[in-house]
A and B are shown apart, each in its own frame.
Chain A
Amino acid sequence: MAGGAQGGAVSAPAAIQWRDRRRRLTNVVMLTLTGVAALLTVVPLVLILVHLFTAGLSSVNLDFFTRLPAPVGEPGGGMGNAILGTVFLVGLAGLLGLPVAIGAGLYLAESEGSRLANGIRFLTDVMNGIPSIVVGIFVWAWVVVSMGHFSAFAGGVALAIMLLPMVTRTTEEMVRLVPRELREGGLALGFTRWRTTLGIVLPAARSGILTGVLVSLARIAGETAPLLFTAFVNPYWGWSLDQPIAALPVQIFQYATSPFEEWHRLAWAASLVLIGLVLAVSLAARFLIRSPYKDR
């Protein structure tokens, strides 16, 4: 590169000096660019949050949490049913998905080196990558078709399927972080395998697993696509597993794509509430629960 200059009229030290200056300049320019990239990625976050507050905050009041949606053209109304519906669906998904997910995570953590476990681990990652809309359609073809109608139960199943691979993998990782000595200590004291795992290893990994669970629950709370053809929509309060049920993300989608100004306003308010819910849960998971082994 700069070597060609050495044979010319310019003396060697000058050429080297020039080259060094160029290297330093490149260094500063490129490193600044990475900083600019970092800045650019944070800009949308700020824009989105600012807009959510300015457009949504004025509509978040007590009515918003306690009332049913008002019919088109009537002012006021709230999304109480959708907020409750989201909590209901996430709870149902947790009930259906968490025991299996934690069991599967334990299985993966406990069968080190097994080929079957490696295969299942890989498929868990594959399952994590399935588009959420495909999960929704699968559950439609499976649960909705056999029940004959949309239902909260189908929505819960769809969200549970989203939940399963996420929690399986975080559980596995958290159990693996528990020091070997703890497990060996239990076995050395004559505990059976299941008592060692359930009585010693699992409690030691509890905080980490709980963090993973909360973060995953927060994530599925914001899912829309799996619910479109399973839980469907419901303008009234839903209490039954057997009936369609409203959910915040679906309601936001419906309102945002409607032609009504009033509904757009409510969509912003609902987004603010949904984000508040999601962030509160994931932040709580992050800061309140500290795993003793996470930092190695």
Chain B
Amino acid sequence: MQPIPEEAGVTAGPARSPVARLAPAFARGNLADRVYGLTLLAMGLTIPVLLAFLLFRVGVSALPALREFGWGFVTGTDWNPVESQFGALPFIFGTLASSLLAVVIAVPLAVGLAIFLTELAPRWLAAPIAFGTELLAAIPSVVYGLWGIFVMVPWLRRTIQEPLANTLGDTIPLFRGPAYGVSILAAGVILAIMIVPFISAVSREVLAAVPRVQREGALALGATRWEMTWQVVLPYATPGIIGAVILGLGRALGETMAVTMVIGNRPDITASLFAPGYTMASVLANEFAEASTDLYLAALMEIALILFGITIVVNTFARLMVWRVARRGGR
């Protein structure tokens, strides 16, 4: 890393101290200002410190499992706490399958909604719809789960799973029965409902950042509204929308309560959307309190570590995408 060049004119004070190099703005002025600056700096530093400590604490707790199973932990399919067999693949599969399904369902809806709100809807319509999606985002996860168990899952079983399993189930493995109701499909649908408001909110910001001139140019050339949106606005906003989608994926990956309540909690890997599954977050929620042996606990800790790692990678990638557009854009 290159040293930050000292600002011209700042000669007084401990210009060479580490504080001056890291936070030049706070190393100047009288004693009170310096104390104030250092206090703020310390508060700012709690965030990286907490993150590092989290990684360390969970990592250390996971060590026994890391040593015992090595890579076999993420490729093993057998999860049997009674015999101290711990393979996490079914959970990794369940997390990825339900989250990806959620993204597939949510993206057309969220992007459609964002386009509708930024490009089309008159104010009197846009405001209440935007407000409604914000309310959706404010509903606690456990309430989604409650609604999922008692309303959505029975409905899905009756109107989607049973007819599909009875007709196409034998030919297409995705729809193979029996239709339990609780399933990867149910988890995907509830996750989709939960991430649509989020993806559309970020997408709207990105769409709003597309310069007006671009739109006016397209319209002036005789484009219809849809052509303007599809051929000019969307290509401009694509990286940002991809970022928004990946942020939504990050949410879905870590979502715990709603998924735990509707996915069925069975550590199987199957091709059928109608079969129960199990996610990393759900197994933590369900089994952490029961972990009776040290190895069991360490295995769960390692799952937490993997989940943490996946969400960090996904979120980092998404933030970079969103930033790229936001920096480029103007009104």
Contacts and interface: CB of A to CB of B under 8 A. Distances in A.
B307 A229 contact: no
A105 to B, nearest CB: 9
Interface string A122-143: 1111110111111101101110
A193 B147 contact: no
Nearest to A97: B46
Interface string A38-57: 10111011011001100100
Given A33-B112, A134-B254, A228-B288, A41 B196 contact: yes
Nearest to A255: B146
A83 interface: no
B187 interface: no
- What band does the interface of chain B fall in when counting residues whose beta carbon is under 8 Å from A? 35 or more
Interface string B308-322: 100110111001000
A113 to B, nearest CB: 9
A107 interface: yes
Interface string B113-139: 101110111000000010011011011
Contact of B140 (A34, A119, A197, A278): A278
Interface stretch (A23-31, A66-74, A203-211): A23-31
A222 interface: yes
B48 A123 contact: yes
B254 A129 contact: yes
Interface string B25-53: 11001101100110111111111101101
Interface of B: 1, 4, 22-26, 29-30, 32-33, 36-37, 39-48, 50-51, 53-54, 57-58, 61, 108-113, 115-117, 119-121, 129, 132-133, 135-136, 138-147, 149-151, 193, 196-197, 200, 224-227, 230, 247, 250-251, 253-257, 261, 281, 284-285, 288-289, 300-301, 304, 307-308, 311-312, 314-316, 319
Interface of A: 23-24, 26-27, 30-31, 33-38, 40-42, 44-45, 47-48, 51-52, 55, 99-100, 103-104, 106-108, 110-111, 114-117, 119-120, 122-127, 129-135, 137-138, 140-142, 161, 164-165, 168, 192-194, 197, 218-219, 221-225, 228-229, 249, 252-253, 256-257, 264, 267-268, 271, 274-275, 278-279, 282
27 contacts: A27-B225, A41-B133, A41-B136, A44-B193, A51-B147, A52-B147, A104-B44, A104-B46, A107-B40, A114-B25, A115-B4, A127-B51, A130-B54, A130-B308, A137-B284, A192-B30, A193-B37, A194-B33, A218-B138, A221-B140, A224-B141, A225-B256, A228-B285, A249-B142, A253-B145, A271-B146, A275-B140
